[in-house]
């Protein structure tokens, strides 16, 4: 019987007989030695996640269409610009209610994915989150804190440098409701994306290609394509926005492989969306919220450069703290 020994704990994971190991990376290996791993099963898992997302999207269309038509929006206008349904001011719907509805799609997606991997592949959610026996929550909260602090610093500096481009729109009542909705649902939304891309698909493509490089590239591109319909991508063009989406996916994917688990990636992704929803909103933000600030100027090219600097700082901190130096773990 094979014994996988955690390098951080004294715990061991006993798994089925596998010889030889195709991976020296515990996270990719975890996908190989747990549950059932036929190609059609992974395909069915992704279909299940998509059906969960689509089923709630169909449900949420009822209140959105009702609000839009009550606000004078015609079906022809909606057909020409479907994104109008996600503009709360255009359709006359409460911003936090719209946010809750949007996050609900990810709740259903995660539920359907969990059902598929539990009953079809006989896997646990933990197995697609970490290569270790237990989820390393300290890593999650540390990376969350690092990225959150960087976003707060960026927001303050941006306001001090260009106060004419940022309006303070703090309103205690709506903001408190936003805070509750965001804290409850955004961690689920970001965890769902991470479990699908940096977890489930990373391990699935790892099985197919027997290395970590191909899964990293493929999942990063797919992550970018998933965001291609975001309002900012439609407004500024895919040529400008797609590199940001793909690099963000690659950044999270590299951390997942080097740390042999998705905890760091999950924490960063959660902080990114949570603090963004609470601090700054702009005309083309995918999350239209009652944030503290409203940016009247959008410069995606400059923002991408700033993001690269933030990612480098964050990576350096995590690299030093967790000694992410064994690059051989990417492939055997």
Given this model, what pLDDT does residue 16 score?
Answer: 45
Q: Which residue has the higher pLDDT, 329 or 150?
A: 150
Tens-digit pLDDT profile for residues 56-87: 999 999 999 999 999 999 999 999 888 889 89
- Name the band, by pLDDT with cuts 50, 70 and 90, for residue 250: very high
pTM of the model: 0.91
Given this model, what pLDDT does residue 258 score?
Answer: 94
pLDDT at 13 over 70: no
**How much is the average pLDDT of 23-36?**
91
Q: Is 3 exposed, middle or buried (0-12, 13-18, 19+ CB in 10 A)?
A: exposed
Given this model, what pLDDT does residue 256 score?
Answer: 96
Pairwise CA distance, residues 249 & 166, whole Å = 28
- Name the band, by pLDDT with cuts 50, 70 and 90, for residue 235: confident
Tens-digit pLDDT profile for residues 253-297: 999 999 999 999 999 999 999 999 999 999 999 999 999 999 998
Nearest to 15 by CA among 28, 4, 26: 4
pLDDT at 98 over 90: yes
pLDDT at 127 over 60: yes
Tens-digit pLDDT profile for residues 39-57: 999 999 999 999 999 999 9
Residue percentage of the chain with pLDDT more than 70: 92
Q: Which residue has the higher pLDDT, 3 or 4?
A: 4
**Calculated CA dihedral for residues 98, 283, 189, 140, nearest 10 degrees:** -140
């Amino acid at each position: 019987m094979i014994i996988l020994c955690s390098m951080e704990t004294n715990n061991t994971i006993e798994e089925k007989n596998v010889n030889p190991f195709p991976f020296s990376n515990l996270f990719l290996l975890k996908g190989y030695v747990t549950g059932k791993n036929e190609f059609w099963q992974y395909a069915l898992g992704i279909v299940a996640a998509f059906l969960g997302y689509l089923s709630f999207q169909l449900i949420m269309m009822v209140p959105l269409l009702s609000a839009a038509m009550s606000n004078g929006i015609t079906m022809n206008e909606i057909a020409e610009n479907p994104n109008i349904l996600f503009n709360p001011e255009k359709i006359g719907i409460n911003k936090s209610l719209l946010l809750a509805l949007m996050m609900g799609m990810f709740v259903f997606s995660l539920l359907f994915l969990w059902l598929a991997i539990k009953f079809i592949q006989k896997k646990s959610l933990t197995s697609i989150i970490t290569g270790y026996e237990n989820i390393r929550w300290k890593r999650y909260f540390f990376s969350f804190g690092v990225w959150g602090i960087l976003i707060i610093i960026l927001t303050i500096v941006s306001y001090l440098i260009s106060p004419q481009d940022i309006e303070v729109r703090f309103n205690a009542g709506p903001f408190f409701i936003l805070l509750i909705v965001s804290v409850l649902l955004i961690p689920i939304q970001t965890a769902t994306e991470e479990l699908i891309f940096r977890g489930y698909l990373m391990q699935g493509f790892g099985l197919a290609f027997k290395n970590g490089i191909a899964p990293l590239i493929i999942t990063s591109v797919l992550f970018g394509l998933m965001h291609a319909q975001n309002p900012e991508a439609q407004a500024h063009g895919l040529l400008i926005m797609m590199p940001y989406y793909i690099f963000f996916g690659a950044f999270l994917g590299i951390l997942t492989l080097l740390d042999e688990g998705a905890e760091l990636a999950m924490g960063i992704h959660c902080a990114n969306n949570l603090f963004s929803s609470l601090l700054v909103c702009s005309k083309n933000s995918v999350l239209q919220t009652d944030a503290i600030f409203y940016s009247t100027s959008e410069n995606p090219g400059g923002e991408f450069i700033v993001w690269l600097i933030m990612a480098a700082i964050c990576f350096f901190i995590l690299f030093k703290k967790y000694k992410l130096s064994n690059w051989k773990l990417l492939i055997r």
